[in-house]
Amino acid sequence: MTVLHLADEGEAADLAAFLSRLLHYDRGAAVRLQASGTALAVFGRPPSFEVLAVRAVRLAKPYENGLESGLDVTVSAGELLEGVDEPAATAAVPGAVTGPPWAGVLPPRGGWRAESGLPAPDALRALVGAAVGEFRRRTEQLAPERRTRAELDRIGREIWSRTVGDTGLPVRVVHAAQSLGFLRPGTAAAPPQTLAGLFSSGAWLRLRTPYGSVAVRRTGLGAGLGGLSVR
């Protein structure tokens, strides 16, 4: 079995937290792992948000049991979580699974350029809070006979498909970043303005923070996988 040696207990705890949040939205979630050298990228797709979430994990050393080449495998998020040993700062990689369609397509590795206009993290969190409040008010105002799943989904799509200012970034991307623990308050060592950035590459937009990234195609992942690069 492949055992990943994480940089420290904090990296193990953050990986476990990320996997737990993905499983909260999908108990059968899968994740794609890509490792090279001392860096591990964990990709997941929480279905409620229709985005790709990426958690970068630092490794103390690449692998055990003689594995020399880079790691690229899709596994069960639940089984990987069970294999995380926080005190030992290790993660046992479970057997590969047949991944969902999104696992065969990932955002580009390079070619990202910074985009302007992204508000500070505190303003982004306030934006999400206002959107959640609006959704609750509007659904509570519905007559009982109109409070159907289709109507709730319609209201949700209207609210979460709005963009953040003139950036073109859907609000649901910010909501996903906050829900997955990527959009955290600033500290003295890392002021809020350094904690979030917006980047683009081709049709992709990515909200990046020190704790993880959320990527989405400008046309929306929910519209299908046409035109994506398979890797």
pLDDT tens per residue across span 153-174: 999 999 999 999 999 999 999 9
pLDDT at residue 223, as a whole number: 38
pLDDT at residue 104, as a whole number: 86
Tokens of 41: 């990228």
Q: Which helix (H) or strand (E) holds 200?
A: strand 197-201
Tokens of 9: 């207990």
Q: Which helix (H) or strand (E) holds 24?
A: helix 9-25
pLDDT at residue 171, as a whole number: 95
Domains of the chain: 3-104 (3.10.150), 113-223 (no CATH)
Kindly state the average pLDDT of the residues 75-97: 96
Kindly state the average pLDDT of the residues 36-49: 90
Residue 45 is classified by DSSP as -
CB count within 10 Å of CB 115 equals 16
pLDDT tens sequence across 181-207: 998 875 444 555 457 899 999 989 999
